[in-house]
Amino acid sequence: MKLTQMFKSTALAGSLGAAALMSAVAPAAQAAQEYLLTVTRPGHLQVIDMATNKVERTCDVPGNFGSGSIALAPNGKTAYVLSNGMEDVYGFDIRSCDITFHAAQSTPTLKVKSFQSVAVSPDGTELYTIQNPFGLKRDRFTVEQPRLAVFNVADGVGAKPVRTFPVDRRITKIATTAQGEVILGGADVKAINPDTGEVRMVTPLQNWEKGPLWLPPDAFAMHNQGEQSNEYIMPYVTAKFDSEEWNFETAEWWWGMSRVDLETGEAERMEIVPFQFIVFNFISDPRDPNILYGAFNTLSKHDISKQETIAVKEMPHTYYDLNISADGKTIYVGGTSSDISVHDSETLEKIGSIQLSGDMSTSDLRVATIRD
């Protein structure tokens, strides 16, 4: 197993010597080493050294490609990947590709899907997923109540939920706060206590009360990110109509977000910039929460204190997601295809590219920080 992985990473790095050297030396040699993680088709967790922008390790992910959702252990050493058609979670030691955790959520009588929703408790001992179960009866399916499933990380391979609590339907991205709550992104942003199952409203979105001329927001988040600012962003699109004629042409269209501070569990909801083009994901600059970057067909930079778009860089193809270095200087734009585009956050100019062995498709682009 290990041999195969090393062989693969070797092939990617292009030189046996270089790859072997990096594998042996890199993790232990540096303090606060940042690794960019993503999943590529047909099933590889790519571990990229952000100091060199080279693929350092490629771990085989068992099962059919899922959605490439990745959750990080707080110490940055373990990455949990949603695989096998969004049914199984595998935990990888990113320093070795060893599989340290596996939870198969489905059973012969229950098909269980998780839509991106994987997160780890702040102490790293528990893993959370949102399970959407479907009963497999002899001649029909049944639709069962979605639930938060709590796993003990220590249960390792073969882990089963130790607790479950009912939650709303349509939950995608989740995250944990320093208080130990799990943020649930669905029709509204809510938080659940994973010990008691108690749910509180964080930001009403579909149930907001913003006045009759505001279009209920279309809120959706497909990608886990925000670790560099310890935040959770649920972006949305809304419109303010000028009358009850509901003229879509004359309405003011806005990007907005609910941004949860994962240190405090408190959220702010606001319209951030006028809707001028599609942005699939926003991230904040770790140095300045008023500066946001967005990716899709463009890489864009926004000052939300002024509700302004500061800079727009046309991209050669669509990129679904993005992430940023801890110092805020370098932006990594990825997803969709097989290359990660590296940009200077000041100018948005392209300063590098990382070619991967397969398409990232809908996969997350996450930064694991190992502080030794």
Q: What is the 3-state secondary structure (H, E, C) of the chain?
A: CHHHHHHHHHHHHCCHHHHHHHHHHHHHHCCCEEEEEEEECCCEEEEEECCCCEEEEEEECCCCCCCCCEEECCCCCEEEEEECCCCEEEEEECCCCCEEEEEECCECCEEEECCCCEEECCCCCEEEEEEEEEEECCCCEEECCCEEEEEEHHHCECCCEEEEEECCCCCCCEEECCCCCEEEECCCEEEECCCCCCEEEEECCCCCCCCCCECCCEECCCCCCCCCCCEEEEEEEEEECCCCCCCCCCCEEEEEEEEEECCCCEEEEEEEEECCCCEEEEEEECCEEEEEEEEECEEEEEECCCCEEEEEEECCCCCCEEEECCCCCEEEEECECCEEEEEECCCCCEEEEEECCCCCECCCEEEEEECC
Which pair of structure tokens corresponds to residue 166? 């009912």
Smallest distance from another protein to CB 235, Å: 13
Q: How far is the CB of 20 from another protein (least distance, A)?
A: 36
Q: How far is the CB of 250 from another protein (least distance, A)?
A: 20
Nearer to another protein, 245 or 314 (CB): 314
- Is the CB of 122 or the CB of 241 nearer to another protein? 241
Q: Which CB sits closer to another protein, 99 or 205? A: 205
* Least distance CB 236 / another protein (angstroms): 10
CB of 362 to another protein, least distance (A): 11
CB closer to another protein, 7 vs 277: 277
What does the binding site for another protein look like in residue numbers (CB under 8 A)? 86, 111, 113, 115, 132, 134, 136, 138-143, 169-170, 172, 187, 206, 216, 218-220, 297, 315-318
Is the CB of 76 or the CB of 146 nearer to another protein? 146
In whole angstroms, the minimum distance from the beta carbon of 86 to another protein comes to: 8
For residues 42 and 316, which CB has a smaller minimum distance to another protein in the complex? 316
Question: How far apart are CB 256 and another protein at their closest, in Å?
Answer: 14
Q: Which is nearer to another protein, 91 or 186 (CB)?
A: 186
